[in-house]
Every structure is written in C-alpha cells, then in structure tokens.
Amino acid sequence: MTLWAARLLIAVAAGHLLLALASVLPDLGVLAPNGLPGMLGAPWQPPHLDRQAAFWSSVGSFAAPQWIWGAWMISAAREGHRPPQGTGLALLLVTAVQVTLAPAGGFWLNLAPALLLITAEYRFRTARPEALR
C-alpha cells in the first residue's frame, strides 16, 4: 500500500506541475518580462500579484517536494522500511486544510494516498512480529 500511496503522490505532483506550467508558459513573456528571476520581485504589490501567483502555483508550489516525498517513500518501501508513524495522518490533516481553503482545487486527490498510508501504518502496527521479518 505504501508503494501505491507513493506512486499516487508522484502522479498528483506531476499532474499539478504539468497543468500549472501549461497555464504559465504561454504568458511567460508577460508574467516574467525580465526572465524567471524577475517573477518574484518584492514587495507583494498589486501589479506583481499575477506574476507571484503564477510562480507559487507552478514551480514554487508543494508539487516538487511532494514528488520527492513520493520517490523517497518508494525507495524506503522497496528496502522494507515503513513510513514514519503519523505520515498518513499528517498528509490527511494537510489535505483537509487545503480542501477547506480551496474546495474547487485538486487537493482532493491527496485523500487517496493519505488513506492508503494510514491503512498501511495500521496494518504494520497490528501485524504479528514474526510477520514483519
């Protein structure tokens, strides 16, 4: 189950990055007239909000760390390690906050890996010690 949860995390992250970049790249000349480093000019002023929103919804989003997290979980699961206790619950809580704040977004997709991780943790805790070897 951990492998499936990790794969879903990576799939959600990849889909988010592809959709976000597809929406940003056509207008990159308008959003970042001085190139990508100019996208995040301080301060947070109304004329720059579209640039900053484009950055934080694509490259600066949680998608890249989520992808890395999924890759780490795949590696750990293949070596026989379980995810740290509470990982599934933490993902579920973060997802619940995200869904509450932006119910029309794609945050719902992280419910599946969160529930898979919680189930995997439960199975690991209730397994007999000899079954874990």
pLDDT of residue 98 exceeding 50: yes
What are the tens digits of pLDDT across the range 14-69?
988 888 878 777 766 666 666 555 555 555 555 666 666 777 677 667 888 888 98
Spell out the domain ranges in the chain: 2-132
Mean pLDDT of 77-87: 85
Q: What is the mean pLDDT of the chain?
A: 79
Read off the pTM: 0.69
Distance CA 1, CA 125 (A): 14
Distance CA 100, CA 88 (A): 18
Residue 128: per-residue pLDDT: 56
